[in-house]
Structure 1
Amino acid sequence: MSLKIGAVAAGFTRDLEFDLSRVEALIRHGRREEIQLLVLPDAALGGYLSDLSRPSPDDLPPALSLDDPLIPKVIAMAGEMVVCFGFCEADGGERYNTALCVTGDGVLGRHRKVHQPPGERSVYAAGNGFEAFETPIGRLGMMIDYDKTFPESARALAVDGAEVIACLNAWPTSITNRAPRMNEDRQSRLFDLYDRSRAAENQVVLVSSNLTGSIGGMRFLGQSKVVGPGGDIVARTWSKAGIAVADLDVRAEIDTARRVLHHLAERRPEVY
């Protein structure tokens, strides 16, 4: 059965009302395109950190609890669509970089970012696992940007039965050695490499969304994409805002990729 997927590239800010209106516009656009799975970037509500070297305590993303009124608003907007989005979650005295997957019926899954670059560790607590979950469009797993640098993240989700992995990103250009042109930037190459590798090595569909524009000293890559289980990019946005849309028969694509070489079945975990 065919599944229409949208990977969003867009910019978000500290202004939650602005962000909510942008989310609504993107969902409305997705509905016109008959998209069934829409993956928004990390930090879609409140934006990302403005500095990874020394995050300022005076300029952090607003922290929202799961019962904050904005969360039910996004849930209501989703309706029949499966929507993934990221935000800074408040839980007790901790902050988490969190992704939610929702429909109009409520929350289907939650992921707290596990792997953190140095600047995040002073702001966010780390999540402690990767779990796939059932949705109306199949079994899904989620990662948040730096998680995909570690092959174990996507592998854990694939072993748990995820056929589609949504990777929500706030992925910037290089902090230490920024190239004059974005497509020549080291992080631009790595971003694509990780997306394609995680899809191919697990033979799953990977949906990679990302921020665009800038916050403080951070400039984001865009490059949202849908990657097939053979590692082929089937739709992408490049660096500008937009939605990469792909129409795939996920089960058929995975069955074809695993017809001769079935990576998950051929693992040897006892020797790793």
Structure 2
Amino acid sequence: MKIELVQLSGRDGDTAYNLERTLQAIATCAVDTDLLVFPETQLMGFANAQQLAEVAEPLDGPSVQAVQRAVREHNVSVLVGMAENDSGTYYNTSLLVTPEGVALSYRKTHLWPSERGLFQPGDRFVTALWKGVRVGILICYDIELPESARALGQLGAELILVTNGNMDPYGPVHRTAIIARSQENQAFAVMVNRVGDGDDGLVFAGGSTVIDPFGRTLFEAGRAECRQIVDLDLDLLRTARHDYDYLNDRRLFLTGEQIEHADGRRELLIPALPQQ
């Protein structure tokens, strides 16, 4: 399986610019690429409180439709982040878009402090079967909470895809976290981060990374824009779980209702917090 990491800079609140760069990357990908992975909120950037209502779009909005058309034209799939507007409620959302349509939609469940009050957290973890592999999505801060990746593992995830918007000085935090999340769930992990300057003095840390099911680094980017194809040897999934299987050996299970869909998607609903 060939996955292309598309580590880009972006412009906060400038959908036209970000969408153009996204479509250009899709149009110029290698013909045998299976999946392109972009950073967190790639399409809109990190819109501030004044911009959010103007730039956020529904899942069937014009930006996602444009990505869908490009994906069909070039017969490739993409993981792309956006600011979602669901009837006036806003979510930090990432989509797995295939030539057949949106295969998976995930709303960030663990919001960074500056996002709280702008976005609402998602209420579930999700996976889908894609090209015979069970895929789950996380977004940025999610990976610092081990239960997030464990929820995907409990749903059977073999490939954890992470759209990332991690900034200085926290680059080393995510480097450590993504290795741990991959190794403890014996799954591949692909994390793609943003680079360059953002609003409010933020400097994004880059360091997009691919980790194998043993926790070994297959690729790690620097701090500049780059595009890198990594070929995943899916046989490593079986090899890593041959002698010991953490998910089968564990004695504690995450709570929450698990839902099986006819199309192969699996969801784990997050239990509501008790009333204070």
TM-score scaled by structure 2? 0.86
Partner in structure 1 of residue 154 of structure 2: 159
Are the equivalent residues in 1 in contact too, given 2:143–2:174 (CA < 8 A)?
Answer: no
Is the Cα contact below 8 Å between 1:27 and 1:78 reproduced in 2? yes
Amino acid corresponding to residue 44 of structure 1 in structure 2? Q
Q: CA deviation at 1:86?
A: 0.3
Q: Distance in 2 between matches of 1:271 and 1:221?
A: 32
CA distance in 2, matches of 1:161, 1:270: 13
Partner of 1:213: 196
Shift of 1:136: 2.6
What is aligned with 2:209? Answer: 225
Matched, 1:253 2:236: yes
Match of 2:246 among 251, 257, 263: 263
The CA deviation at 1:271 is 11
Deviation at 1:270, TM superposition (A): 6.4
CA deviation after TM superposition for structure 1 residue 265, in Å: 1.1
- Residues 260 and 239 of structure 1, relative CA distance in 2, 3 Å threshold: same
Q: Tell me, yes or no, if the aligned pair for 1:236 and 1:244 is still in contact at 8 Å.
A: no
Task: Give how far 1:103 is off.
Answer: 0.9
| Cα RMSD after superposing both structures | 1.8
Are 1:70 and 2:63 counterparts?
yes
The one-character-per-residue Cα deviations of 1:220-270 (angstroms, maximum 9, x if unpaired) are 0111111111111102221111123211222x1111111212111111116
Q: Would the alpha carbon gap of residues 254 and 219 (structure 1) be closer, same or farther in structure 2, given more than 3 Å must change?
A: same
Aligned to 2:4: 6
1:119 aligned to 114, 133, 136, which one? 114
Q: Residue 262 of structure 2 corresponds to which residue in structure 1?
A: none
Residues of 2 paired with 1:200 and 1:30: CA distance?
Answer: 29
Change over 3 Å in CA distance of 1:149–1:271 after alignment to 2? closer
- Whole-Å Cα distance in 2 between the matches of residues 57 and 17 of structure 1? 19
**TM-score normalized by the length of structure 1:** 0.87
Q: Identify the residue that residue 267 of structure 2 maps to in structure 1.
A: none
- Partner Cα distance (2:125, 2:191) in 1: 17
Q: Give 1:78 shift.
A: 1.5
Query: What amino acid is the match of 1:12?
Result: G
Give deviations 1:20-74, integer Å, cap 9, x for gaps. 1111121123234x2212111111111125xxxxxx5224482111121111110
Show structure 1 runs of 4+ deviating over 2 A.
28-32, 56-61
SS at match of 1:25: helix
Aligned to 1:179: none
> Percent identical across equivalent pairs?
32
- Matched AA of 1:244: Q
Q: Which residue of 1 aligns with 2:270?
A: none
Judged with a 3 Å threshold, the aligned counterparts in structure 2 of structure 1 residues 137 and 44 are, in CA distance, closer, same or farther, namely: farther
| AA in 2 matched with 1:75 | Q
Match of 2:50 among 40, 58, 66: 58
Task: For 1:147, give the aligned amino acid.
Answer: D
Q: What is the match of residue 44 of structure 1?
A: 42
Q: In structure 2, the residue corresponding to 1:66 is in which secondary structure?
A: coil
Counterparts of 1:126-165 in structure 2 under 5 Å? 126-136=121-131, 138-165=133-160
SS of corresponding position for 1:153: helix
Which letter maps to 1:27? I
Asked whether the equivalents of residues 171 and 206 of structure 2 are also in contact (C-alpha less than 8 Å), the reply is no
Question: Which secondary structure does the structure 2 equivalent of 1:130 belong to?
Answer: strand
Structure 1 residue 168, shift from structure 2 partner = 0.5
Figure out how many residues of one structure are paired with residues of the other and give that number: 250
Give, as a single letter, the amino acid of the residue that structure 1 aligns with 2:164: N
